[in-house]
Structure 1
Amino acid sequence: MKNILVLCTGNSCRSQMAHGYLAHFANPDTVKIYSAGVETHGVNPLAVAIMKEDGVDISKHTSNNVDEYFDIPFDYVITVCDHAKERCPFFPTQAVKLHHNFPDPSKVKGSTMEVIESFREVRGMIKEYCHDFIIKNELD
């Protein structure tokens, strides 16, 4: 079993979406996905809605702190924002650390439609990254 942790600042949007897509694309018999934040902000309802549009249900996800997972031997730790990368704790494993800074859609100011469109754009970026990661690492 391969263990993958997706780490973000608040485990609210980007890490939750990546968690959803990695679980969607990966073989559940051989891969376990976790997500966490260096803080916890709760799962963003708009992230849940935007993922549901694409057929991925993250409504039962919880916002977890990275400290909860120190005893898990991760194979990969993927940071999805620069802040989390800078604050990424040491894991006592040989985990491969990867980083991709995705824009934070929850920080977008504008009309409701502009915010929703930002979430959709970031969702598309995360979906592509996660799909490519699973294929490249033969985890499907």
Structure 2
Amino acid sequence: MTTNVLILCTHNSARSVLSEGMLNHWAAKLGKDVRAHSAGSAPSGRINPFAIEALANAGIDASGYRSKSWDEFVGEGAPEMRVVITVCDSAAAEACPYWPGSPVKVHWGYPDPSNAAEAQKAAAFELTRQAIGYRMLQLLQLPLGTMSNAELQQALVDISRS
């Protein structure tokens, strides 16, 4: 059974998109039945071009990605999430909707690469992509199919400290 992971950031334009791309990329490479989704509480309606560039430079096609609302993941027919990860502090502080299935929730904060000086933006996005990719690889090493929610919660908190 597919393990669905929802990654949230307020605008769903940079960090959450990088996370979705990296988790899906590594899951496919490692043959793991994990599917990442991303969304935002107040989606910007566009993906930051530096996020697309960072993913493309890593060999990940993000052409089908779009900025979307977390509302898409609470309605009928939405995939049931096992894990919800917030990647920006403002999303972590927001009151999230009720997620069907009571997924495990964790905050993995990353500084916003969009705030870097213009000349440093590409490097900031690349460093953020690498940091996210490292944590996603750690997530994929977990025995997701056999872990209880309490065990998974602790493992995800431990990853947040690395």
Shared fold per TM-score greater than 0.5: yes
Q: Distance in 2 between matches of 1:30 and 1:55?
A: 20
Q: Does 1:65 align with 2:66?
A: no
2:59 to 48, 55, 58: 55
* Structure 1 letter corresponding to 2:137: H
Deviates more, 1:16-25 or 1:90-99: 90-99
After superposition, the C-alpha distances for 1:85-136 in whole angstroms (9 at most, x for unaligned) are: 111333132201111101110122x242x11111111111111111111112
What does residue range 1-140 of structure 1 map to in structure 2 within 5 Å?
1-27=2-28, 30-41=33-44, 42-71=46-75, 72=78, 73-87=80-94, 88-108=96-116, 110-112=117-119, 114-138=120-144
After superposition, the C-alpha distances for 1:23-74 in whole angstroms (9 at most, x for unaligned) are: 0111577322211001111111111011111111212101110011103321
The SS at the match of 1:38 is coil
Rg larger for: 2
Mind listing any 5+ residue stretches in structure 2 that lack a counterpart?
A: 146-162
The SS at the match of 1:26 is helix
Deviates more, 1:128-137 or 1:60-69: 128-137
**Greater length-normalized contact order (CA 8 Å, ≥ 6 residues apart):** 1
- TM-score where L is the length of structure 2: 0.78
Q: RMSD in angstroms over aligned alpha carbons?
A: 1.8
* Structure 1 letter corresponding to 2:91: A
Mind listing any 5+ residue stretches in structure 1 that lack a counterpart?
A: none
Identity of aligned residues (%): 34
Q: Distance in 2 between matches of 1:36 and 1:19?
A: 9
Task: Give every structure 1 segment of 4 or more consecutive aligned residues whose post-TM-superposition deviation is greater than 2 Å.
Answer: 27-32, 136-139
- TM-score where L is the length of structure 1: 0.89
